[in-house]
Structure 1
């Protein structure tokens, strides 16, 4: 079967292809607010750092999505539930959104937040993020000194969820009027066009009901980085779409968290 995209805006449109998509944002906001009432976070710049009871087993970092243009960490607090139940601290960094910032600046801001959180929490570091946040999670382990060596050495797993790994197709979408991606930035900010740090297991995780472009992008990173020496896998989670594929982060016993929360 020939795969040929003719409408790039539709190729990256998620809500238009998810039943009752309009109900997800209010539910996320309500769940996140309730979670913060029960688990008061510590500030992490403009983001949040959640502590479990006792000494943390490690640090999980979740980077939010929204096509680098929308949302903030406060929308996703409830996604810390599974890791907290397993005794891990959870950092949810904030970053300046487009058009106020270019993607390269967002990469630097997230790296600074991960470094700050790593200074407060010892042990292994597990990196994840969703959609645009999946892109930023993968960027953290590119072999271009994005993270300081001492911090990167503690990363035991990276699980980008529904990640955007090659930014060049997004230059063909209307959203690029806001993102302002050009060929040079797309090349230097696309994980699939960069080399990974060695020795960090990488699993791209994507819903089986997602748009074909998201499945392709998830496979792309796993395939290319495997060829560059990284231990990789691509999990296509059956029956899940772009908005519910992240729900495994809420459950301590989910396969998603099993893949993410590992230690050497």
Structure 2
């Protein structure tokens, strides 16, 4: 038996750019594909940009419509450790779900330190409710990194979503998600997050109970750090024991950034898994 060594550098195991070749080229690599996608779909009249879902300046989302009849709604929640990025980086990732007849909403939210994580949870709940009011049919949620945490929170028993919206969620996809926030207390990010032990526990999906009927896929790149792979398996394992239908996938040759490229490909297994509610 090999005993794993205790983690001594928590910032290192939650660093992404430093652990990826040319890692500092992200998020810049997403800017142009996202811009080109928005320009193209706006020209076709199938984009609703900057839709308000709340009173804050960042309570906005972009909504994209498929060419054919709308069959459902996919909502993608971005990452950035709850403290960075906005909706403009991810527009092209709507392509996969759009091809299957899903409308796609991509919200942004008020970042830390202006916000706390618990408040961001509430904002994402409001964004989902606003999008669900616009689009009929089944709802699927996808989120990356901190966004994986946020979409998982939506199907906890203490979800901010009203029952009418929770009942429409057919599938959740947490991509490289952070499901136990307590390790964040050991990182330098905790100051910007204004995170304390009480909030870390209260906002950790792995410490909460999923709503009945939850179906969640936890998806991570096999080239990610040990902590992201552990966090991925953790939620799938715990929630399966609490009655949820779970899947745990480690995709070969993918790291923390290029793992989400799959969402732009209608035939990628990640997209097919996400939209399987329509089959």
Q: Is the TM-score greater than 0.5? A: yes
TM-score with structure 2 setting the length: 0.92
Q: Provide, for residues 11-52 of structure 1, a one-character-per-residue CA deviation record: whole Å limited to 9, x for no partner.
A: 100000100112232220111100100112313322211111
* Aligned partners of 2:154 and 2:160 also within 8 Å: yes
Equivalent position SS for 1:261: helix
Q: Which aligned pairs between 1:8-27 and structure 2 lie closer than 5 A?
A: 8-27=10-29
Q: Distance in 2 between matches of 1:139 and 1:2?
A: 32
Q: Is the 8 A contact 1:209 1:241 kept in 2?
A: yes
Question: What is the distance in 1 between the residues matched to 2:251 and 2:277?
Answer: 23
Aligned partners of 2:175, 2:205: CA distance in 1, in Å?
Answer: 14
Q: Secondary structure at the match of 2:173?
A: strand
- Structure 2 matches for 1:1-264, cutoff 5 A? 1-3=2-4, 4-40=6-42, 41-42=47-48, 43-45=50-52, 46-263=60-277
Q: Is the 8 A contact 1:44 1:91 kept in 2?
A: no
Q: 1:54-85 CA distances to partner (integer Å, 9 max, x unpaired)?
A: 32110001000000010001111111011112
Unpaired stretches in structure 2, ≥5 consecutive residues: 53-59
C-alpha distance in structure 2 between counterparts of 1:85 and 1:171, whole Å: 40
Distance 1:67 1:142 in 2: 20
1: distance between equivalents of 2:26 and 2:115?
A: 26
Conserved 8 A contact 2:209-2:239: yes
- Where 1:5 maps in the other structure, the secondary structure is coil
Alignment partners' CA distance in 1, 2:210 and 2:229: 20
Deviations, residues 97-124 of structure 1 (Å, cap 9, x unaligned): 0000000000000000000000000000
**TM-score when scaled to structure 1?**
0.98
Query: More displaced, 2-11 or 94-103?
Result: 2-11
Q: Unaligned 5+ residue runs, structure 1?
A: none
Q: For 1:119-163, what per-residue CA distance to the aligned partner results, in whole angstroms no more than 9, with x for missing partners?
A: 000000010100000000100111114211111111111010000
Following superposition, the deviation at residue 177 of structure 1 comes to: 1.0
Cα shift at 1:215: 0.3
CA distance, structure 2, for counterparts of residue 190 and residue 19 of structure 1: 30
Is contact 2:17–2:26 with CA below 8 Å preserved after alignment? no
Q: SS where residue 262 of structure 1 aligns?
A: helix
Distance in 1 between the 2:29 and 2:255 partners? 16
CA displacement 1:189-233 (0-9 Å, x = unmatched): 100010001112111000000000000001000011011110111
